[in-house]
Structure formats: C-alpha cells, structure tokens
A and B are shown apart, each in its own frame.
Chain A
Amino acid sequence: MQTHPTAGGAVVAETAPAQRPSRRWTRDALHGYVFMAPAILGLLLFTLGPVLASLWLSFTEYNILTPPQWIGLENYARMFRERLFWQALKVSTIYSVVSVPLGLVLSLGLAVLLNHGMRGILFFRSVYYMPTVISGVGVAMLWRWLFNAEFGVINVLLSKVGIQGPAWLLDENWALPALIITSVWGLGGTTLIFLAGLQGIPQELYEAAEIDGAGRWSQFRNITLPLISNVTFFNLVLGIIGALQVFTDAFVITRGGPNHATLFLSVYLYQHAFQYLNMGYAAAIAWFIFIVVMLLTLLVFKSSPLWVYYENERQGR
C-alpha cells in the first residue's frame, strides 16, 4: 500500500518534467532562506550593519547627547597628532611582535612534546590546556597578585635563585613583559591546534626518514615543519587578530598603566568610547585596527606560498 503513492508521484514527475523540479526548487529555496534567516539577520544586524555604521561614525563627532556631526577625516588626522595614540600603537605593536612569534614557537615545541607517545601524556595535555578554559577576570586578578613586587610568588622564586625581581606591574619597563608572560601561560589552545596537525602527519614519513638515518632534528626540520606549515599559518592569522585585540588582561591587570606603559589600542579605544564618550573618534580607532588587521592578514596570505606547504602540492610532484 505504501509504495503506491510514491510510484504515482514518480509517474507525475516523468510526465511533467519541467514543472515539478522548478516548483520543488523554489520551495526548497524558500525553506533554505528560512533556515539561513537567523544567520543572515545576524550578519546584517550585528556585523555588516555595524561595520558600515562604524565607518560612517569615524567621519563624525558624536558624544551620544548631541546628534553626530560630519567632520570628514578630522578623527583620523587627530589620531596621528595624539601622543597617546602613538603610545597605544607602540604598545600593541611590541606586544604582537613579541608575543605572537614567541607563542607560535613555544606552542609548537610544546605540541611536539605532547605528541610523544608515553604514559601520562593525556594528563599533561589536560594540564597545559587548562589555562585556556579558565582565562578571564579571575585569572587576571591572580596575575596581579603573582606579580606583586614584594610578596608575589614570582619575585619570591626569583630571589631564591639570587635574582632581585623588578617591580613588574609598577615598573614602566616591566609591565608589558609581565603581560607577555601571562599570554604565554595561556598557550594551551594554540598548542592543541598544533597537536591536532601533528597527528595528521603520516607516520610512514618518519619511519622512512629513520631508515635513511635522519636524526630527530632533521626529521623535525624536513618533515614536521613543512607539513605543519598550514596549521602554523592558521595560528599566525588567529594570533595576530587576537594580539591586536587584547583587552581583559590589559584592563584588569594594569589598567593601561603605569604611565601608559600598557595602553593597548583596545584599551585606548575603550577609554575614548566609554569613558570620554568620543564615539566618532573611537570608531576611527576601531577602523584603524581593522585596516591594520586586514593588511597583516593579507600579507600573511600573500606570503603563504613561500612558506606554507599544501597537500595537493605534494601529490602533484
């Protein structure tokens, strides 16, 4: 009994081939749009719309209380006149230039160690990933206490090996390095992505290399590094985007101080948007960050053929 309607339907479809598929197609398309609707609305309301609004705002002066006034490129010109903007740019640049490569090297190294087959390795993987899960304000407050000049555990341990630790968060020269150290502590996420990449490398390659008498370092140089380069690429792009947006640590641990030594671009933006209500100027800073991120990402993408090794390339050879 159940097969009859279907058989009948098939006959109808055969006799009217032009009509059926097209009506079916439009209905499918309609359902398709319904399913995509939340994502499309989200894209328009919370991404594309705000991105364009932010561009427009960046050409205006707006303090919420009075209507926005068009001032052309004045916000951008102002940016380059403000000493603190240059300071923020310097802080974000130093932080990114140090913490991103340092993070990549350390997390790749750690991933190689964590990829070593031995007992208890799962325990180690959990321990190293843990800081990623419990990041946030609580941990930022903890770092404040760890870096305490006199009673913090870091200086206590340094004094045990005969080093007089700096005042860290109170010292202009050491506050930014302190924040870089905290970023290294949270490497677990990047490490796990590298680890997933390492486990995708065929074991036979290492076996073959071993038969050829290649040592560990040579295997790492000639097999691991090239085959992991697409993951390195991914982590580099994410690292740059993340480093230029650091906020919680900078805001909670040092509040941008001392003497603006940790005034990240994001903190500078926050101050102008939500403390001084310079919405137009803040939007211009945001667009500046956006353009820098786009340029850097583009640079990484453009340079990738030089150092990223893709699977199909290997098959093509």
Chain B
Amino acid sequence: MTTRQRTLPFWRTRRGQDRAFTAFVFVLLCAGALLILLPFFWMLSTALKAPEQVYLSPPVWIPIPPQFSNFWEALTRVPFHVYALNTAIIVSLVMVGTLLSCSFAAYGFARLNAPGKNLIFMLVLATLMLPGAVTLVPTYLMFNAVGWVNTFLPLIVPSFFGSAFNIFLLRQFYMTIPAELEEAAKIDGASVYRIWWSIMLPLSQPVLATVAVFTFVATYNDFLMPLIYLADEEKYTIAVALSFFQGSPRIGPQMHLMMAAVTVSILPPLALFLAAQRYFVRGIVMSGIKG
C-alpha cells in the first residue's frame, strides 16, 4: 500500500486531493461573492454617474470623474434629513423599549416561579409561528380607534411589550447565570427588581448588544408598518420615503439620484454590520437551534 501511494502523482494523493478540493471551494465562493457584491457595485457606479452616463449601452462601469455631488443633490431635493430624524427617533425608542421589556420579561421567565409561567412562556413562543398578517387589520383598527394613526406611537409602543424571539434569547442566557450571584445580593437585602437592574442587566450586556443590533436592523428596514401608519410626508421614515421616490417627479426619473439615495439609506445597517459582526453571528448561534 505505502509503496504504491508513494508512486502516485501528486494530484492522486490525499494531500493533493485536499488541496484541489480547497481550491474548488475557493473558486466557488469567489464566484458567489462576486454575484453578491455585483448589485452593490452597480448601485455605487450608478450613484456616481453623470445623468447622461446612466442610460448607455454598453454601460459605463466606472464613471470618470465620479459625480460625488449626486449624493448632495439626492439628499437635498427631498427633505432627507427629516426622514432620517424620524427614522432615528423611531429606531432608538423601539430599541429602548425592546431591550427593557424583553430583558425584564425574560428575567421573570428564567428565574421567578409563578403558577402558569410555563404555559405563558409557550404561548409567547407560539407567536413566533403566527403570520403577522392575522394581527395586521385589528391592530390597525385598534390604533385608529385611539387616534394614533399618523403618529409614531403604533410603531413604538408595541416594542415596550416584549417580543417573543428576544425574550427567548435573553431567557436562555439568564438560565446560564449561576444563582449564587443573586443569592448574595438577596442576603444583602436587594429586591428582585434591583437584582434585575444592577446584576442581570450588566451581566447580559453581550446578549443585549445582540438583541440591539437585530432590533436596529429589523426596525430600520421595516416597510409595511410605517407605510400603513404614517400618512403625512413629514412623518415618513427613510424606507417609506424611498419607496415613493420612484413616482416622485423630483427624483424618480433620475436613476443616478435614486441610487445615491439608496446608497445612503443602506449605510447605517451596513456600518453597524461591519462594526458588530460578532453580535450578529452570536445571535444565531445562541438561539440554540444548532445541531
């Protein structure tokens, strides 16, 4: 066996085959990555074109000189700063609400005993399977009845009442924290609320960061809710405003301006992703669905 293997050509040996397979994987991944990145390249390329370069065949791939002024023009033709401010208000309040309510509820589910706790927890988890369409109409009617339509409230207030996935994530984490830490605080006379606030919250910082990044991305990208609830243009979020650009005579027909606006709109989640990648990955691994 060994003598035969020695006479094999390199590409027939184990090591040779492993190398060949790695090269094969590398080539496949590169090709796929190009397909993933191509739309972004095309977006940026269009955003930097002069108007007369946009509709050309064959296309201009790299516009020279790049028209950086497109960004300024796209952002000032519409009150983009208003949309950005609205989005910032909604996203930040939703993040506060989600972090507070989910960690609060999760602590209860992880640590305190109350009759029916498990049943309630199962019900909360079951909402993960519920298609959002079912609650859409009555929830709208409810907010309409209390006069909250065309305000930010329907977008913000529900976040203060917990969300299943985040409660689940935080509860899983609290279950792993040793009980001795709380026992010591209890002996010192701390209430459960104090323990939650001054022991559990600081300890769960990494998971809270994970919840925060996911909440940011989901709220920032959300389209249906702001579309339904916000009627006045000065209340639009970036997502809703963008969707109306197509039909807007100020910006619609000018693809280079539209792509400039799209580029700006994806910057916040992109920057967050690049800065906090490990939290995104952790959220998926932590949800406990791995094999």
Residues in A lying within 8 Å of B, measured CB to CB = 6, 25, 28-43, 45-51, 53-54, 57, 64, 110, 113-114, 116, 118, 120, 124-131, 133-146, 150-151, 153, 156, 185, 189, 192-193, 196-201, 216, 227-228, 230-231, 234, 237, 241, 244-245, 247-248, 251-252, 265-266, 269-270, 273-274, 279, 282-283, 285-287, 289-290, 293, 297, 311
Contact = CB atoms under 8 A, between A and B. Distances in A.
Interface string B181-220: 0000001000011001000000000000000000001001
24 contacts: A30-B114, A32-B108, A35-B108, A35-B109, A39-B120, A42-B161, A43-B127, A46-B161, A47-B127, A54-B134, A120-B26, A124-B33, A127-B37, A128-B33, A133-B270, A144-B246, A146-B39, A151-B56, A196-B284, A197-B291, A231-B289, A234-B289, A251-B243, A269-B136
B123 A43 contact: yes
B126 to A, nearest CB: 9
Nearest to A115: B25
Interface of B: 21-22, 25-26, 28-29, 32-33, 35-39, 42-43, 46, 54-59, 101, 104-105, 107-109, 112-115, 117, 120, 123-124, 127, 129-142, 144, 158, 160-163, 167, 187, 192-193, 196, 217, 220-224, 228, 238-240, 242-243, 245-246, 255, 258-259, 261-262, 265-266, 269-270, 272-274, 277, 280-281, 284-285, 289-291
B198 to A, nearest CB: 15
B139 A50 contact: yes
Which 3 pairs from chain A and chain B are nearest by CB?
A: A35-B108, A42-B161, A32-B114
B208 to A, nearest CB: 16
A32 B119 CA distance: 14
Given A38-B160, A128-B33, A231-B290, A286 B136 contact: yes
Contacts of A230: 291
Given A46-B161, A54-B134, A138-B262, 13 more contacts: A36-B114, A43-B127, A57-B137, A57-B138, A124-B33, A134-B270, A137-B238, A140-B243, A145-B255, A146-B39, A153-B39, A193-B284, A286-B134
Contacts of B108: 31-36, 39
Given A50-B138, A51-B134, A124 B29 contact: yes
Contacts, number: 275
Nearest to B189: A5
A299 B255 CA distance: 46
Nearest to A52: B138
A200 B109 contact: no
Contact of A32 (B29, B117, B243, B280): B117
A53 B33 CA distance: 46
B25 A136 contact: no
A38 B104 contact: yes
Contacts of A237: 129
A245 B128 CA distance: 13
A25 B58 CA distance: 76
